[in-house]
Structure 1
Amino acid sequence: MRQLIARRLLQTIPLLFFVSIACFALVKLAPGDPVLSFVTPNMHPEDIERIRHNLGLDKPAYIQYFIWLKELFQGNLGYSLVNHQPVLDQILDRLPATAGLMASAIALAVLIAIPLGLTAGANRNRWQDKVINMISYVGISVPLFYMAILLIYLFAIKLHWLPIMGMRTIGVHSAWDVIKHGILPCVVLAFGFLSVYVRYIRSSTIGQLKEDYVQIQYAFGASRRQVLFRHVMKHVLLPVITLLGMSMADLVTGAIVTETVFSWPGIGSLGMTAVKGMDYPVIMGITLFSALFLILGNLLADILYGFADPRIKSTR
Structure 2
Amino acid sequence: MRQLIIKRLLQAIPLLFFVSIVCFGLIKLAPGDPVLSFITPNMHAEDIERIRHNLGLDQPAYVQYWRWLQECLSGNLGYSLVNHQPVLDQIVDRLPATAGLMGISIALAVLLAIPLGLIAGANRNRWLDKLINLVAYIGISIPLFWLAILLIYYFAIKLHWLPSMGMRTIGKNSAGDVIKHGILPCTVLTFGFLAGYLRYIRSGTIGQLKEEYVQIQYAFGSKKSTVLFRHVMKHVLLPIITLLGLSMGELVTGALVTETVFSWPGIGSLGMTAVRGMDYPVIMGITLMSALLLILGNLLADILYGIADPRIKSGEVTS
The answer to whether the superposition gives a TM-score over 0.5 is yes
Residue 103 of structure 1 and its aligned partner are, at CA, apart by: 0.1
Query: Structure 1 200/101 Cα, relative in aligned 2: closer, same or farther at 3 Å?
Result: same
Q: TM-score, normalised by structure 2?
A: 0.98
The AA in structure 1 aligned to 2:308 is A
Matched residue, 1:224: 224
Equivalence map 1:12-23=2 (5 Å): 12-23=12-23
What is the deviation of 1:237?
A: 0.5
Question: Which residue identity does 2:219 align to in structure 1?
Answer: A
Q: Which moved more, 1:229-238 or 1:156-165?
A: 156-165
Alignment correspondent of 1:120: 120
Amino acid across the alignment from 2:11: Q
SS in 2 for 1:120: helix
5 Å-filtered alignment, 1:285-296, equals 285-296=285-296
Q: Secondary structure at the match of 2:190?
A: helix
Residues 248 and 297, structure 2, Cα contact 8 Å, conserved in 1: yes
Q: CA deviation at 1:19?
A: 0.3
Which position in structure 2 is the counterpart of 1:55?
A: 55
Report the Cα distance in structure 2 between the residues aligned to 1:75 and 1:246, rounded to whole angstroms: 25
CA RMSD of aligned residues (A): 0.8
Structure-2 separation of matches of 1:170 and 1:312: 52
Distance in 2, matches of 1:237 and 1:140, equals 21
8 Å Cα contact 2:167-2:178 kept in structure 1: yes
Displacement of 1:287 in angstroms is 0.2
**Structure 1 Cα separation of the partners of residues 182 and 237 of structure 2:** 28
> What's 2:197 paired with?
197
Task: Give the match's secondary structure for 1:43.
Answer: coil
**Aligned positions of 1:19-58 closer than 5 A:** 19-58=19-58
Say if 1:305 and 1:313, in contact at 8 Å, map to a contact too: no
Aligned to 2:111: 111
Tell which deviates more after alignment, 150-159 or 123-132.
150-159
Detail structure 1 runs of 4+ shifted over 6 Å in the superposition. none
Question: In 2, distance between residues paired with 1:9 and 1:130?
Answer: 44
Give, in whole Å, the separation in 2 of the partners of 1:168 and 1:106.
22
Q: Tell me what 1:94 maps to.
A: 94
| Cα distance in 1, alignment partners of residues 204 and 222 from structure 2 | 20
Kept in 1, the 8 Å contact 2:88–2:285? The answer is yes
User: Take 1:46 and 1:165, find their aligned partners in 2: how far apart are those partners?
Assistant: 42
Residue of structure 1 equivalent to 2:275: 275
Alpha-carbon offset, residue 313 of structure 1: 2.9
One-letter amino acid of the structure 1 residue matched with residue 69 of structure 2: L
| Structure 1 residue ranges without an equivalent (≥5) | none
Name the SS for the 2:205 alignment partner.
Answer: helix
What is the correspondence of 1:94-173 to structure 2 with a 5 Å cutoff?
A: 94-173=94-173
State how far apart, in whole Å, the 2-side matches of 1:115 and 1:278 are: 44
1:180 aligned partner? 180
| Residue deviations 1:65-110 (CA, integer Å, cap 9, x gap) | 0000000111000000000000000000000000000000000000
Residue matched to 2:9? 9
The residue aligned with 2:73 is: 73
Q: Unpaired runs of 5+ in structure 2?
A: none
CA distance in 2, matches of 1:25, 1:158: 46
Q: What is the Cα deviation at residue 314 of structure 1? A: 6.7
Residue 26 of structure 1 aligns with an amino acid whose one-letter code is L
